[in-house]
Amino acid sequence: MSAEQVALAHYRRRRRLAEQLAEVARRMWRRVDPGDIARSWAGQVAELAAVVTAAQLAAALTADGYLDEVLDAQGVNPARDAAVAPAALAGVASDGRPLESLLFQPAIGTLAAIGAGADVGRALAGGYAVLDMAVRTQAADAGRVADQVALAARRQATGYRRMVVGRTCGRCVVLAGRWYRYNQGFDRHPRCDCVHVPCREDTADAVATNPRAWFDSLDRAEQDKQFTRADAEAIRLGADIGQVVNARRGAFGLTPAGARITAEEARALRGGRDLGRLTPVDVFGRPTFVTTEGVTTRGVAGVRLGARERGVKVGRYRSAPVPRLMPESILAAAGNDRTEAIRLLRRFGYIL
């Protein structure tokens, strides 16, 4: 098999494990007594923690075998200095706290929602969404950490490429195909499906991903869904995907673009704010969407907006004297004038 095929098979094994764990958590959450949420869930947390620990252990156990196979497929010597200790990566949450503490959070969130006036059924649904995301994340994180530990023990593999799987999201696709040193962390979001492909820098092109080709492979409805309608239209007009996605990180009042979480998770985690909704700022009496991302002398937009010549010193760098418009505001300002839309997208650094 090719390195990509090996990585996909590895991902699918891990995905099945996470699905099985999530099903156990779902069945247990259904046993929660709506009239006694805290006590009825507390009585199950220890049992679920043991199941999560077993799933973490199972995920970590596959790391050494995966490294051997994926490196061999690239002609890289998989010899290792040491083996992964899977048990060391199981039994604790990925943020370092005890699993029991993490797994009790859905009950706390449910009770907080009820206290704020939510219907009990709706609050329980929100708690389940948080639980589902938590258990999937714990299994996935244990596996990813084990992969990186196994990579560190193999001197011939100096790093890894990030490979996207399936339909993915905009935030991940702009990172896909990049090479990272073996000791660089693996950025991820809830339900992230991306995979490490350990390699040498000179053997990694087999898993490179072209973000624009990926975008073009989606139909228009899916493009709009993944990026928002305005961002997708900007990309269709020629905007660089990386600029569009990165700009959204600093957008006022916006959750990250492409975050693959459900509406219930969004309500539970963000206090009822709808996913993907911008909060405008007032510019000369007109509601306008702006971002703070990329406006210094280090960013394309910052340079084009005069950060070097007329910028204001903010920290170590000079920042542009005017705000950077988001694609929503650019398209609204341009109206039906395609030429003007492209000019503004270029000025604000979305077209390179």
Reading the chain (352 residues) residue by residue, the pLDDT tens digits are: 888 899 999 999 999 999 999 999 999 999 999 999 999 999 999 999 999 999 999 999 999 999 999 999 999 999 988 888 888 888 888 777 889 999 999 999 999 999 999 999 999 999 999 999 999 999 998 898 889 888 888 889 888 888 877 666 667 777 777 788 877 766 666 667 778 788 888 765 555 567 777 788 888 998 888 788 888 888 898 888 877 776 666 554 333 333 333 444 334 333 333 333 344 565 555 667 777 677 778 777 778 877 777 767 766 778 777 777 776 677 677 777 767 877 777 787 776 6
> In this structure, is residue 227 part of a structural domain?
yes
| pLDDT of amino acid 131 | 97
Model confidence, pTM: 0.68
Paired with 281 in beta bridges are: 288
Same domain (yes/no): 139, 242: no
Same domain (yes/no): 177, 295: no
Which pair of structure tokens corresponds to residue 26?
Answer: 């779902």
Boundary-marking domain end, from 152, 186, 207: 207
Fill in the amino acid letter for 34: P
Element containing residue 195 per DSSP (H, E):
strand 195-199
Per DSSP, the three-state class of 291 is strand
> In this structure, is residue 221 part of a structural domain?
yes
Same domain (yes/no): 340, 224: yes
> In this structure, is residue 125 part of a structural domain?
yes
115 burial (CB, 10 Å; 0-12 / 13-18 / 19+) is exposed
> In this structure, is residue 328 part of a structural domain?
yes
Distance CA 204, CA 242 (A): 21
Helices (H), the chain: 3-29, 37-61, 63-73, 99-115, 120-152, 170-173, 211-217, 220-227, 229-236, 241-249, 263-270, 300-304, 307-310, 327-334, 338-347
Distance CA 225, CA 242 (A): 17
| Range(s) of the domain holding residue 224 | 211-347
Same domain (yes/no): 160, 216: no
Q: Which residue, chain included where needed, has tokens 């909060």? A: 279
| pLDDT of amino acid 100 | 94
> In this structure, is residue 218 part of a structural domain?
yes
Boundary-marking domain end, from 156, 185, 207: 207
Distance CA 193, CA 87 (A): 23
| pLDDT of amino acid 57 | 94
| pLDDT of amino acid 81 | 83
> In this structure, is residue 248 part of a structural domain?
yes
Phi, psi of 92, rounded to the nearest 5 degrees: -140, 150
Boundary-marking domain end, from 159, 187, 207: 207
Same domain (yes/no): 216, 203: no
40 burial (CB, 10 Å; 0-12 / 13-18 / 19+) is middle
Identify the CA nearest to 252 among candidates 231, 226, 279, 284: 279
> In this structure, is residue 352 part of a structural domain?
no
Same domain (yes/no): 78, 142: yes
Per DSSP, the three-state class of 314 is strand
Structural domain tally of the chain? 2
Phi, psi of 38, rounded to the nearest 5 degrees: -60, -50
| pLDDT of amino acid 256 | 33
Region of 306 (left: φ > 0; alpha: ψ -120 to 50; beta: rest) is left
Q: Give the total residue count for the chain.
A: 352
Same domain (yes/no): 65, 194: yes
Do the Cβ atoms of 78 and 91 come closer than 8 Å? Answer: no
Same domain (yes/no): 202, 216: no
Same domain (yes/no): 178, 105: yes
Which pair of structure tokens corresponds to residue 186?
Answer: 């693996």
> In this structure, is residue 165 part of a structural domain?
yes
| pLDDT of amino acid 280 | 56
Same domain (yes/no): 320, 268: yes
Identify the CA nearest to 135 among candidates 108, 169, 105, 112: 105
Distance CA 73, CA 204 (A): 11
Distance CA 311, CA 220 (A): 38
| pLDDT of amino acid 55 | 97
Do the Cβ atoms of 262 and 240 come closer than 8 Å? Answer: no
Same domain (yes/no): 272, 178: no
Distance CA 83, CA 348 (A): 49
Same domain (yes/no): 194, 221: no
43-to-24, 25, 103, 329 alpha-carbon distances in Å: 15, 14, 12, 51
| pLDDT of amino acid 208 | 57
